[in-house]
Structure 1
Amino acid sequence: MSTFTTARRLRADFTGPVHLPGDAGYEKLRGTPFAPIDPRPALVAEATGAEDVRAAVLAARDAGLRPAVQATGHGTRAACDGGLLLRTSRMAGVLVDPHRRLARVGPGTRWGRVLTAAAPFGLAGLSGSHTDVGVTGYTLGGGLGWLSRAYGFAADSLLRAQVVTADGRLVTASPDAHPDLFWALRGGGGNFGVVTALEFRLYPVDRVFAGTACYPIERAAEVAARYRDWIGGAPDELGTALELTSMPDTPETHPSVRGRRVLRLKAMYTGSAGQARRLLRPLVRAAGPALAEDFRTLPYAEAEMGGTAPGQVDLLRELPDAAVEAIVRAAGTDGGPAVEIRHWAGAMGRPGPGAGPAGPRAARLSVIADRPVPDLAAALRPYGGGAFLNFLHDPARTADAYSGADLRRLAAVKRRYDPDNVFGLGHNIPPAPAAAARTAG
């Protein structure tokens, strides 16, 4: 079936617009905001509902076109060249049930809309570092945010998902229906179908104490060593990170740190300001007087903390002196990469019964550099291992995000729901051979 024939079929069955190369909408919609790829799909279809998604999946299969799904595009890692790019950004509805403390969202929804809808009820979802990140890709890939130490990975809060499978069925996965698919969706990424709706828990978080404080970069080694020891007693309600970075040389930046290399402490606490300052006091004493500080109490929906762009990520079980020295050596001088040391653990390491493969549960810390630093990666390798799907740039490393047992189980689920690997672009988990899938099941 030709591309034009497929487009005609879709336009007959589809509510949303369909774009071919040369159409005005094609150039606008084919790209991604961050990934260094230049996708050239055969056509782009903008779904407005679950039936549009079904029509697109079936049309792609009949035409022999590989489908790719994109909402905001933040997590796109592979180009859909010659395939059918299904955009779900028009499916961005949000429904909050304050009595049951849950939200139901469309696949194109960004976290900002969820937080805005939940805030009047004193509730919040487990959003990431930026409110413009899409809910669906973030959640399916695990979902790490500033509330994760208190409440777990975002995937752990998923209650049910509506999914179009590779054969065009619309199913609802939950603990009681398609439980194998439900398990796989909570950390297995977009391998198993096209999500058309998610339902997840909200939490009673209204206002938080949050912000940053900047200190001289020369204190980085001493403060990082103190941080390593201090996190052992930090409560789950407190999320923190240390960042070695260069501040922008702009009028909006505080004059004392403008254009300067600094050590920056980031923190978010769901309790009182007074208690937060008492908890942070050992770090503040080690760092000395702040060059600039903006800690304050504010609505959680307004506390966009940001984060170091994950150009290189190392997950650590420990942070010995040798690791601290390697981080400071790599990032402690002008021109060096931005490097963030972030505390994990807490509820992320205490999954409930039947939890999915959301992330590296044993990780105590992450070290994130905004660009690859091979010497730093080599220095940190003895103290960690594994990967987090949301942070992986290289689809060839997808298997690193899972234990051997979880990977085998994911491959078996893939075999059941997508035996032909229709959804094989990006962070792909190939279907298990038939015999292996029967054993895993």
Structure 2
Amino acid sequence: MIDMLHTDSTADRRDLVNLRELIRGSTLYPGDEGFEEACSGWLLTVVHRPAAVVVAADVGDVAAAVRFAAEAGLPVAVQSTGHGPSVPADGAVFIATGELRELSVDPRAGTARLGAGLRWGEVLSAAAEHGLAPLCGSSGQVGVMGYLTGGGLPVTGRTYGFAADYVRSLDIVTADGLLRTVSATQEPDLFWAARGGKSNFGVVVAAEIELLPLRAVYGGQLSYPVADRGHAAHVLGSYLAWAKEQPEEMSSSVTLMRLPDAPQLPEEFRGRSFVQVRVVYTGDEEQGARLVEPLRALGPEKDTCGAMPYTQITEIYQDPKNPVMVHLRSALLRELDDEAVEELVSLIDPSRLGGPFPGIELRHLGGALNRAPGRPHAVGTQGAAFHLWLRLPAPAEQAGAARTAADQVLERLRRWDTGAMLPGFLFDHDSAPERVMRAYTEANYQRLAALKATYDPNQLFRINHNIPPLADGERTRS
């Protein structure tokens, strides 16, 4: 299914050189200056070795590159920021969309038009000039299109739902090289599939999204250093009890971490374990402060909660801005009981010596995230109470150990694992078809596979978390 055309023959090299003549932007080949930088990304644990990189100057370049790849029998890979890579793009035509930077806000309609090369920090700033806000995640560095096509889990998700709910239309270059504008009324099946199906159905080059009249929120971080497992269990258990009582206007998460005594870390973090709670409340400041008071009563060492402009919402999580070598995993969990608390806090026990040093984030779901969207798409929590995001440092010499440690963490939490995942949190470990299937309900996966057979039967777009096309009469799940 995923055999690639080798590029070491004279004919193949000649064809690839011809690609440059079709492109207004840059076309780079292995050995060219800037080649490795063009196909690198934020997550450095996946290394791409494509046959050629097309740094697209416009939509025409994207369409030309897709047509070329289809005629040459080469797969297509696409990347803006590289926050969620799947498999190496070896031998592919790699389309870098970072130069597609269209950005306009229509304050009367409350919408924005976004090019595929934008990052959420740029959209936040542009929308704020009109008192409006996009539904972004925890990092302003994340590319808009990978986030939207993966569904988009906003930091205000319990109030507003998934970011995919607010997409009005997408411009997508499909495997036939055609540019299509899809919406709820124009090719609605493809519109449904592209919001959640990620890059399986084409290269999304632009989107129109709804913005919210949201100027400010009440939010911040409360950080609790833990001296022992008992203290950690008290803080985590108190947070879980608190979260159950919160209105939909309150979105929150809790992160458990144990840090090495390493010189590259700030002194305040070295060799310490923490429970960190992050909150975002979309109501008024006074009520937000009242709701957070039980968390303050737990005695945080650091408390940054307060009223803030919406433009600062991504600063709450302090996600890394520079490329990283980490192993990332995710899961959707049921409600967590006392036994789950004990398992979780044992993973950050400050009395332990040596690694691993996990960062475990649990984001509270429910609210609008569990309701059917006005514009249906392929994303859903499948009834989960929490989203787990696991991060483990994974320099090249420790990659195997990081993977093993992640397996062990998830195995210890298996009793609370629903077996489902979110498509926007699939990473390189999740490229196998049986893991991709976990990101969708059975009915949605069947529909996606059927639409893949319609729009990409030859698997041009397979350098991704691939959804193979459904054959006639085939049933991909028992």
Residues 433, 252 of structure 1: alpha-carbon distance in 2 compared, 3 angstrom cutoff: closer
Q: What corresponds to 2:215 in structure 1?
A: 206
* Shift of residue 251, structure 1, vs aligned partner: 11
Q: What corresponds to 2:414 in structure 1?
A: 381
Residues 167, 251 of structure 1: alpha-carbon distance in 2 compared, 3 angstrom cutoff: closer
Q: State whether residues 35 and 74 of structure 1, in contact with CA within 8 Å, keep that contact through their aligned partners in structure 2.
A: no
* Shift of residue 378, structure 1, vs aligned partner: 2.3
Structure 2 Cα separation of the partners of residues 359 and 163 of structure 1: 22
Structure 1 Cα separation of the partners of residues 129 and 457 of structure 2: 44
SS in 2 for 1:331: coil
Counterpart pick for 1:171 among 157, 173, 180: 180
Structure 1 Cα separation of the partners of residues 407 and 463 of structure 2: 27
Moved more, 137-146 or 349-358: 349-358
Counterpart pick for 2:313 among 290, 296, 303: 303
Q: What corresponds to 1:318 in structure 2?
A: 335
Q: What corresponds to 1:345 in structure 2?
A: 366
Residues 342, 307 of structure 1: alpha-carbon distance in 2 compared, 3 angstrom cutoff: farther
Structure 1 Cα separation of the partners of residues 425 and 119 of structure 2: 18
Residues 227, 419 of structure 1: alpha-carbon distance in 2 compared, 3 angstrom cutoff: same
Q: What corresponds to 1:21 in structure 2?
A: 30
Q: What corresponds to 1:196 in structure 2?
A: 205
Residues 292, 301 of structure 1: alpha-carbon distance in 2 compared, 3 angstrom cutoff: same
Q: State whether residues 172 and 204 of structure 2, in contact with CA within 8 Å, keep that contact through their aligned partners in structure 1.
A: yes
* Shift of residue 243, structure 1, vs aligned partner: 1.6
Confirm whether residue 53 of structure 1 aligns to residue 87 of structure 2.
no
Q: What corresponds to 2:194 in structure 1?
A: 185
Counterpart pick for 1:245 among 227, 247, 257: 257
TM-score, normalised via structure 2 length: 0.85
Residues 275, 413 of structure 1: alpha-carbon distance in 2 compared, 3 angstrom cutoff: same
Structure 1 Cα separation of the partners of residues 211 and 267 of structure 2: 35
* Shift of residue 194, structure 1, vs aligned partner: 0.8
Q: What corresponds to 2:455 in structure 1?
A: 417
Q: State whether residues 35 and 77 of structure 1, in contact with CA within 8 Å, keep that contact through their aligned partners in structure 2.
A: no
* Shift of residue 432, structure 1, vs aligned partner: 0.7
TM-score, normalised via structure 1 length: 0.92
SS in 2 for 1:370: strand
Structure 1 Cα separation of the partners of residues 59 and 371 of structure 2: 34
SS in 1 for 2:200: coil
Q: State whether residues 311 and 368 of structure 1, in contact with CA within 8 Å, keep that contact through their aligned partners in structure 2.
A: yes
Q: Give the letter aligned to residue 406 of structure 2.
A: V
Counterpart pick for 2:293 among 257, 281, 303: 281
Q: State whether residues 125 and 202 of structure 1, in contact with CA within 8 Å, keep that contact through their aligned partners in structure 2.
A: yes
Structure 1 Cα separation of the partners of residues 194 and 180 of structure 2: 13
Confirm whether residue 407 of structure 1 aligns to residue 435 of structure 2.
no
Structure 1 Cα separation of the partners of residues 49 and 183 of structure 2: 35
| Unpaired stretches in structure 2, ≥5 consecutive residues | 1-9, 320-325, 393-404
Confirm whether residue 73 of structure 1 aligns to residue 82 of structure 2.
yes
Q: Give the letter aligned to residue 241 of structure 1.
A: S
- Identity of counterpart residues, as a percentage? 38
For residues 349-364 of structure 1, what are the structure 2 equivalents within 5 Å?
Answer: 349-364=370-385
SS in 2 for 1:44: strand
Confirm whether residue 270 of structure 1 aligns to residue 279 of structure 2.
no
Residues 428, 252 of structure 1: alpha-carbon distance in 2 compared, 3 angstrom cutoff: closer
Q: Give the letter aligned to residue 177 of structure 1.
A: Q
Confirm whether residue 395 of structure 1 aligns to residue 431 of structure 2.
yes
SS in 2 for 1:225: helix
Residues 249, 436 of structure 1: alpha-carbon distance in 2 compared, 3 angstrom cutoff: closer
